[in-house]
Structure 1
């Protein structure tokens, strides 16, 4: 596929289609309708940990008042309208428009802002800039960035379109995919030239299908091995897969994309993401998103064994900072001071990464964490 080199103002010119806000589409967890039995048994005998019956390591109880102060988060995080950490300088999102989503990109930021009850726009902020760059993209429903924060992808619902962006040159490189048969689209992950996304059909009820788009060759492949795409490992070979069950029982699995083989399945933990080395899955108890949880856990990505579990506070969100550390937004309940802690998977110890303050539970976010 031919690359298109454009300045941002050219990239975004003419895209004025409104769409449902990302807040509406991203905050609601998809609930597939397969029965638990339809997930099928794992090959061989399921591990006790996968079925939630194994004895697990003793819970690590977090006492926020006794945690030592550590360094700030190395991953990008948002407090109110200010982004710190990651690959770029401290950056603020100008104005007062509600922030639906924001990612680090090319040392600066890309952000989806609400422009009304059901409309959005994508804006860019260059490194060290105090104002938005010229141009905007209307109707953007979702946005993701690479771990290196140099690539990004976004979806525009009204165009049934997905876009791939590369910031590594002096001018942005853009590639696009538009299919008239797609309904609502949502980008899920970007790995090099590959973009993973979901698209609904045009019928009612609209079936949802997952796809892998090679933005360089233009090839689009349906990913039929995953039921509910919740996260992709670094290698792009396995996904955190959300599976619904009967009688309000919800389950997750780590599923290999190419074969559909499930490494393990658990109905106790919601699988939210992977460490960079793909050996550990960050997990919580909430299968539908929102609020705060009673624990955060680290599971072996190959068999589901619980490597560590933290309790004692309210866990708002969590994401792997590196192979051994998890960053967690925590408080002790609604309307209490909020902060970020860092905990080691290896020994369970924790430290303060962002001291608690009365920011408000919804105003502290780890960029890249499932919300």
Structure 2
């Protein structure tokens, strides 16, 4: 899931993965190797056959670091393979299935994704944001007021939400949720509430949230099957922040305050709370649903001070990475997180890859001043 305006208690990642989808910002013992400079293990292949490693990536598995906090320095990280999901460098979308595609114009690019052979981009406007679809034929289409975006796991469909926005940028309440196929078929449903935001598109169902009142801190989760005239309220998940890839568990904002919050992982079918934390905000899952992406419970300023990986079944902290300004976190696969980070405004940044099983991190893009971001 990707959304333009983040929540005070949650530091993004759309992460709908969107996330997302997954996917994000969710300490015990300090690592004896605080820099984590060795390359992470190669990405796990979809089958059991070994995945060939590029010449510039170490093929030797580094020793696992003990669970706990790891302080990173970008200048100390080794070079790894490029991201295996779509990502943005400057105005060019790279990675994923398809050739590099340049986003035209000069409008700020908030999020990008690939859907079939097309590229989707959420672009900033004076009013808020629009969704741009670019096709290989050169044709393009804009949908106004879109501020959140999620694609299916196979990248054949996308869901996005367009809240009703005044010319001043004020949320007027209500809006439209769309489901689009790669062939151009678009279905939509009118919805109510404030801050309408798509969280995930899972197994033919679009999940989105909205608040009953404009200044509310509680959100309700809804599910919508494209083609149906209405959406259904999911009563078991209050204030959702993320949904697993199989839609069986969700991250929920349990208690919210002005300066801190607590979160929980709950079963979608029953509402049963599996565990609760007041030390991490939860906003994404790895594709296998075994790891939750997290970070500080309150996000303000330029970037988050840390990003974390927690066991989705127990809430146990696996690793927390700190020492940088963490701007975006998303799952690359079951074992790896991609993190956009730098040392502060105006400094060189990169997308880095961190292994949730060893804690090791590496550069997935070169360290540079060029804008980079993680797509879907």
Deviation at 1:88, TM superposition (A): 2.2
Where does residue 126 of structure 1 map in the other structure? 135
Q: Cα gap change, 1:204/1:192 in structure 2, threshold over 3 Å: closer, same or farther?
A: closer
Where does residue 140 of structure 1 map in the other structure? 146
Where does residue 45 of structure 1 map in the other structure? none
1:235 is aligned, of 246, 265, 280, to 246
1:311 is aligned, of 313, 322, 329, to 322
Q: Based on CA coordinates, which of the two structures has the bigger radius of gyration?
A: 1
Indicate whether 1:175 and 2:187 are aligned: yes
Where does residue 160 of structure 1 map in the other structure? 175
Q: Cα gap change, 1:292/1:200 in structure 2, threshold over 3 Å: closer, same or farther?
A: closer
Q: Cα gap change, 1:308/1:176 in structure 2, threshold over 3 Å: closer, same or farther?
A: same
Q: Cα gap change, 1:101/1:304 in structure 2, threshold over 3 Å: closer, same or farther?
A: same
1:366 is aligned, of 338, 352, 374, to 374
- Contact kept, 8 Å, 2:9 with 2:260, in 1: the verdict is no
1:1-371 matches, within 5 Å, as 26-29=4-7, 57-116=67-126, 118-127=127-136, 131=138, 133-158=139-164, 160-167=175-182, 171-179=183-191, 185-201=196-212, 208-218=219-229, 220-245=231-256, 248-288=259-299, 291-359=302-370, 363-368=371-376
- Contact kept, 8 Å, 2:302 with 2:345, in 1: the verdict is no
Structure 1 gap segments, 5+ residues each: 1-22, 33-51
- Contact kept, 8 Å, 1:89 with 1:107, in 2: the verdict is no
| 3-state SS of paired residue (2:79) | coil
Deviation at 1:194, TM superposition (A): 0.3
Task: Kindly tell me the number of residue pairs found equivalent between the two proteins.
Answer: 314
| 3-state SS of paired residue (1:89) | coil
| 3-state SS of paired residue (2:308) | strand
Taking the aligned partners of 2:258 and 2:225, their CA distance within structure 1 comes to 39
Taking the aligned partners of 1:187 and 1:247, their CA distance within structure 2 comes to 24
- 1:208-244 Cα shifts (integer Å, max 9, x gaps): 5321011255563201222322111110111121233
TM-score, scaled relative to structure 2: 0.74
Structure 2 gap segments, 5+ residues each: 11-26, 31-65, 165-173
Taking the aligned partners of 1:28 and 1:247, their CA distance within structure 2 comes to 15
Taking the aligned partners of 1:348 and 1:53, their CA distance within structure 2 comes to 14
Deviation at 1:331, TM superposition (A): 1.6
| 3-state SS of paired residue (1:357) | coil
Q: Cα gap change, 1:289/1:258 in structure 2, threshold over 3 Å: closer, same or farther?
A: farther
Taking the aligned partners of 2:205 and 2:199, their CA distance within structure 1 comes to 11
- Contact kept, 8 Å, 1:240 with 1:254, in 2: the verdict is yes
Q: Cα gap change, 1:320/1:176 in structure 2, threshold over 3 Å: closer, same or farther?
A: same
Q: Cα gap change, 1:325/1:114 in structure 2, threshold over 3 Å: closer, same or farther?
A: closer
Where does residue 37 of structure 1 map in the other structure? none
Deviation at 1:294, TM superposition (A): 2.8
Q: Cα gap change, 1:174/1:260 in structure 2, threshold over 3 Å: closer, same or farther?
A: same
Shifted more, 60-69 versus 74-83: the winner is 60-69
Shifted more, 297-306 versus 236-245: the winner is 236-245
Taking the aligned partners of 1:289 and 1:195, their CA distance within structure 2 comes to 29
Q: Cα gap change, 1:124/1:308 in structure 2, threshold over 3 Å: closer, same or farther?
A: same
Asked which structure has the greater RCO (Cα within 8 Å, sep 6+), the reply is 2
- Structure having the higher helix fraction is 1
Taking the aligned partners of 1:166 and 1:283, their CA distance within structure 2 comes to 31
Taking the aligned partners of 1:222 and 1:30, their CA distance within structure 2 comes to 24
